[in-house]
């Protein structure tokens, strides 16, 4: 599937003003996933209806109630939170990975869908810091595939300011005589040239909008590669990129080609438009 979206990123400009995050007090949740259990729980003991393997298809019976945080239902829902956080707070200098799911709970919401409540640890990749987040993910069930809805509150997501770096990057690209372009990030050997890393990060942020939109309870999306990212000329202060990424769904093992136009504006406003 090829989708064109126009993404306006505040990323390159830095965010003006303080974002809306909720500061939660530290919870002392039992970290069930930190170390191997001395006696493992059976499926019956956890009250979980079913567990999943990577290779099972989309017809899994859905787990409800308390979830095993290491198993797929909780992990897939938590991955959606990762994509959500990246779309809201991501930039070439701020990216999130799912570190761990501490706990999870799922319940049906009538016929309209299923709601997951999660306590997770999120890893900010560039500063190498970990944050705890509480999140709720609602997967609507309907004839047409609809995007999940996410609410998340984390400790201090924007603690480390990336504004200066983002500004510097913007200036660098703006002042460049030539339009920047890169392919195969990472390459076949997993390598990324240091000066193309911000472009790889841009690709991840942009892909997260699509991955968020396309996720459901039977997907686990990651961006596999930026196949091509090319800067386009603009007549105003915008930076514009044409971006071709490969998305990978761990469940179906399908690689999806994703085409996007990225725009970056100066006023720090972040929004996205669909054609």
Partner 1 sequence: MENYNYTKYHPMDEIYRWMEDVERANPELVSSTIYGYTYERRNITLLKLGQNNTAGREKKVIWMDCGIHAREWIAPAFCQWFVKEIVNSYKTNEKLEQMLQNLDIYVTPVINVDGYIFTWTNNSNRLWRKSRSQSLPNSTCYGVDLNRNFKANWGTIGVSFDSCENTYCGESAGSEPEAQAVMDFVGAMVNQTLCFLTIHSAGQLILLPYGHPEISAPNYNELVSVDPNSGSSRDWARLIGIPFSYTFELRDKGKFGHLLPENQIQLACEEAYVGALSIITYVHEKAFNNSIVSNSAATTVKHFTLASGIAMMIWSTIMAVFVATGFI
Query: Which residues lie near partner 1 (CB under 8 A)?
Result: 33, 35-43, 50-57, 59, 70-72, 75, 79, 97-98, 125, 183-184, 186-191, 220, 222, 224-225, 246, 248, 250, 252-255
Residue 29 CB, nearest approach to partner 1 (Å): 18
Q: What is the closest distance, in whole angstroms, from the C-beta atom of residue 211 to partner 1 in the complex?
A: 10
| Closest distance of CB 87 from partner 1, Å | 16
H or E element: which one contains 222? strand 221-232
Q: Which is nearer to partner 1, 142 or 191 (CB)?
A: 191
Phi, psi of 233 (to 5 degrees): -75, 145
Instruction: Report the nearest approach of partner 1 to the CB of residue 41 (Å).
Output: 7
- Closer residue to partner 1 (CB): 117 or 222: 222
Closest to partner 1 by CB, 36 vs 275, is 36
Looking at beta carbons only, is 18 or 38 nearer to partner 1?
38
CB of 266 to partner 1, least distance (A): 30
- Residue closer to partner 1 by CB (options 51, 265) is 51
Q: How far is the CB of 99 from partner 1 (least distance, A)?
A: 9
For residue 244, what are the contacts with CB-CB under 8 A and spacing of at least 6? 226, 227, 228, 229, 257, 258, 259, 260
Angstrom distance (rounded) from CA 126 to CA 11: 14
- CB nearer to partner 1: give 89 or 170: 89
Query: What's the CA gap between 98 and 79, in Å, rounded?
Result: 6
Nearest Cα residue to 107 out of 143, 62, 75, 69:
62
Question: Within 156-264, where are the H helices?
Answer: 163-175, 197-214
Q: Please state whether beta strands 6-9 and 254-264 pair in parallel, antiparallel, or not at all (unpaired).
A: parallel
Q: Are 73 and 139 in contact (CB under 8 A)?
A: no
Question: Phi-psi bin for 87: left (phi > 0), alpha (psi -120 to 50), beta?
Answer: alpha
């Amino acid at each position: 599937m090829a989708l064109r979206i126009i993404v306006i990123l505040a990323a390159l400009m830095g965010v003006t003003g303080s974002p809306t995050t909720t500061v939660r007090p530290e919870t002392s949740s039992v970290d069930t996933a930190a170390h191997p259990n001395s006696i493992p729980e059976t499926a019956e003991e956890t009250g979980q209806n079913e567990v999943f393997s990577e290779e099972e298809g989309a017809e899994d019976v859905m787990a409800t109630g308390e979830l095993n945080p290491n198993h797929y239902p909780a992990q897939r829902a938590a991955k959606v939170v990762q994509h959500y956080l990246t779309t809201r707070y991501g930039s070439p200098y701020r990216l999130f990975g799912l570190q761990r799911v501490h706990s999870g709970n799922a319940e049906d919401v009538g016929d309209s869908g299923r709601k997951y409540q999660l306590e997770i640890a999120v890893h900010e990749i560039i500063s190498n810091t970990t944050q705890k987040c509480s999140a709720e993910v609602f997967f609507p069930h309907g004839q047409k595939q609809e995007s999940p809805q996410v609410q998340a509150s984390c400790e201090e997501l924007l603690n480390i300011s990336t504004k200066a770096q983002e500004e510097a990057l913007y200036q660098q690209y703006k002042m460049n005589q030539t339009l920047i372009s890169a392919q195969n990030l990472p390459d076949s050997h997993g390598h990324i040239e240091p000066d193309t890393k911000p472009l790889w990060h841009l690709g991840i942020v942009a892909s997260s909008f699509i991955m968020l939109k396309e996720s459901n309870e039977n997907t686990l999306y990651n961006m596999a590669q930026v196949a091509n990212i090319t800067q386009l000329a603009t007549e105003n202060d915008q930076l514009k990129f044409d971006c071709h990424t490969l998305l990978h769904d761990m469940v179906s093992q399908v690689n999806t080609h994703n085409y996007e136009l990225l725009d970056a504006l100066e006023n720090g406003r972040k929004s996205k438009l669909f054609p």
